[in-house]
Chain A
Amino acid sequence: MFEQSLEFFTEGLTLAGMVLFRLVLPLAFMFGVGWVLWRFFAPEAVPQVKGARPESFGAFITRVRELPNLRVPVLSSGQVLALFIAIMLWIGATGFLIARFFWGLETASAMSDAMPWGLWIAFKLSFVACAAGGFTFAAIVYVFRLEKYRPIVRTAILTGLIGYTVFIVSLLIDLGRWYNIWHPIVMWNPHSVMFEIAWCVMLYTTVLYAEFSPALFERLGWKRMQKIMHVITVPLVIAGVVLSTLHQSSLGSLYLIQFTKLDPLFWSPLIPVFFFVSAVAAGLALMMVVPCINARAFHCENKQELIATLAKPAAIVLGVYFTLLVGDMLVRGELRTLMAPSAMSALWWVQVLFGIILPMALLFTPQAKSEPRVRYVAAGLVIGGVILERFNVALFGFSEYLGSLNTTYVPSFGEWVITLALIAGAVAVYVAAVKLLPVLPQPRHELAAKPVKSC
């Protein structure tokens, strides 16, 4: 009897501890930080009479809601269709996620002991590569001080921020013991590439949120916070550049140790360098497309003449990437493998011809300066090429190895649904952020009356 009650007591204690440490403390921390921010920085925004009570929370919320342009938009039929597809994806993903979190990864994915990393990893690598625009443009504007790019730097940082947030969400889905995701903070294995990536991604996501926070403070009118951010922006950006350099390349280093499994066409000792250079190319390419989409979707100023100046730098980055790739092939003596017809060499050629050479040629032409269409095609090819490279390394390059084990990997329906739902979620968050916060070059209400330039 006594033993039973003791057991009951210890179990109750454990449960209470779990609730305390996993629920109460984090929530208290979040609300505490929020309260401090609001209490000390919000009052500056409203004209204050000395000695008056600080703004109440209700008044604060009302003030935020009454800020301009927080109104429900009227949707076009295309937007309704997009929303319908997104909602269907989210419903499907919710179902698969419930199954995955209650009955294990096999219910939602086709991954196996032979192929422990699947579509989600390839997707994560692609997403983070495209999110490299965040650190590239932050460096261009705050380190190299090329002020003319300032109008699009917030857009770039927002794409980075959303890319990394989606990366972390998809990591939580992918990790078997996701509730231990914080372990690398206290359990160290500095020899592990994954450890380094965990730290870099964690820190860099924080840096991205901090870099983006001036948009939020500007919207809320928190002048003191804006001043603080003003002082620490350059150090923050430098930290972001360092962290990005490290983990963009380290994501490639993940595959160094898998040399017995990855196809020799895609395994290379230079793979970290490839990942870094191609991420910069993808970031630049994404920022050649996104401002135009912004102009069409949100009726903001179209910065075409500014975007046009990105063509040549992007082409040069592609040239560096191409030189490295081919040089590496020559040094490693894989040229013969490249000439032999196989699925792998075909993938390599598609990536190099359509993802590097063709867009590089397009971007070097004078039309790239004058014709937006040329730039969009080139940028699309670059992004597609970089995504193909990530998929080659993370998925396709393992097909021969899987064949030797008499098995194969085809992503399951659940993996696709969750991936597409995450992409839809990223787009939704982007749209919401652009509508709610001062991200775009010019507030849309000033330009709303003007005719939209076609891109």
Chain B
Amino acid sequence: MNNQTTITRRDFLKLSGASALALTALPAFDGQALAGFLGSEQAANQMGILIDTTKCVGCRQCQAACNLRNNLPPLPEKILPNQTFPAQLSATAFTNVQFFQTGGAEDAPVFTTIKRQCMHCLEPACAAVCPVGAIVKTPLGPVTYDAEKCLGCRYCMAACPFNIPKFEWDSANPRIRKCDMCADRIAAGELPACVQACPTGALEFGPRKELIAQAQARIGKNPDKYVPYIYGLSAVGGTSVMYLAAVPFDQLGLNVNLPDSAVPELTLQVMDKIPAIAITVALLAGGVAWWRGRKTRAGEPESSIEDAEH
């Protein structure tokens, strides 16, 4: 006890100043890797779905096909007209056709229908946050989920800016459930089930750059019909599922306040600094321990560290 020096305030200030300086000087990569992928040819060639809400008649055949393909409970025989059913996406509904009144009078409302599903972001937040890589963005385009890896931490649900991943709250072995763009069908050269079922051509499947070109052509041909935006072109860095509409997208329940930068970048900026922070803290702590312990080593009797003062 008596052989120990006490740390002076000046020592302490010196140390904290040094550590603060070291922390600001840390290297960071600022998500450069992400930005590189978003503009790349690979991203442009990934498969996607263009949903033209002006062509959608709200027949729900896409929903029925989706439920069939994914072994989900089938739609009931009778559904009230002009109503979203089921009202929300869930573990048993990966897609639904949502009805929004966008015009007409009280007694004769006009509805716009929009098919909602996983957006299959180019840089998905869900895949970035998954601790075990159970959710991945496959090279073909779909964002897929592997229940065998999953822990059920539900961070993907918390992180998704579109609230897409759903959870089996009533199961002892719960899975995350969401649209996987029929990844197995795409790999086999087939269309996703919903696209194949659509009778009006409101759903278009193809490489993302071709879909974008087509969407721009449609807007260019009918500037009076469409609002001049493609939803999903740049939101959260771009998504594989994109929308065209005749009314502003916020009237169709889509979040128009999302940033154009990829969502995971926010976290990556911090994660990239972690090795540097770890090394800095370790070196600082080691240095202080060595420096403060030098007297003990210089021949003075060492008090046993583990013997608490009993």
* A interface with B by C-beta (< 8 Å): 101-107, 111-114, 116-117, 139, 142-148, 150-151, 153-154, 174-178, 180-181, 183-184, 187-198, 214-215, 217-218, 226, 229-230, 233-234, 237-239, 241-242, 245-246, 250, 253-254, 256-261, 269, 272, 405, 438-439, 441-443
Contacts and interface: CB of A to CB of B under 8 A. Distances in A.
A293 B277 CA distance: 36
Contacts of B167: 105, 113, 116, 176
Contacts of A191: 128, 264, 267-268, 271
Nearest to B147: A177
A316 B167 CA distance: 44
Interface residues of B toward A: which range? 35 or more
A443 to B, nearest CB: 6
Minimum-distance CB pairs A-B, first 8 = A176-B152, A106-B169, A214-B306, A116-B154, A177-B152, A194-B131, A187-B132, A195-B131
Interface string B1-28: 1001111000000000000000000000
Contacts of A214: 306
Contact of B132 (A151, A183, A256): A183
B254 to A, nearest CB: 13
Most buried by B among A176, A259, A438: A176
User: Would you call the interface of chain A mostly helix, strand, loop, or mixed?
Assistant: helix
B158 A196 contact: no
A217 B150 CA distance: 39
B266 A259 contact: yes
20 contacts: A102-B172, A106-B169, A106-B170, A113-B157, A116-B167, A154-B308, A177-B150, A177-B175, A178-B151, A187-B132, A192-B130, A192-B271, A197-B131, A229-B306, A234-B305, A269-B266, A438-B308, A439-B308, A441-B308, A442-B310
Contacts of B258: 260
B238 to A, nearest CB: 17
B301 to A, nearest CB: 13
User: Would you call the interface of chain B mostly helix, strand, loop, or mixed?
Assistant: loop
Given A113-B157, A143-B292, A176-B154, A193 B149 contact: no
B274 interface: yes
Contacts of B175: 176-177
Contact of B151 (A113, A175, A245, A269): A175
A81 B205 CA distance: 67
A180 B152 contact: yes
A246 B292 CA distance: 24
B222 interface: no
Nearest to A213: B306
B151 A183 contact: yes
A237 B5 CA distance: 20
Contacts of A234: 289, 293, 305
Interface string B298-310: 0000011111111
B282 interface: yes
Interface string B111-136: 00000000000000100111111100
A257 B151 contact: no
Nearest to B146: A187
B310 A175 contact: no
A237 B296 CA distance: 18
Contact of A144 (B7, B158, B267, B278): B7
Contacts of B255: 260
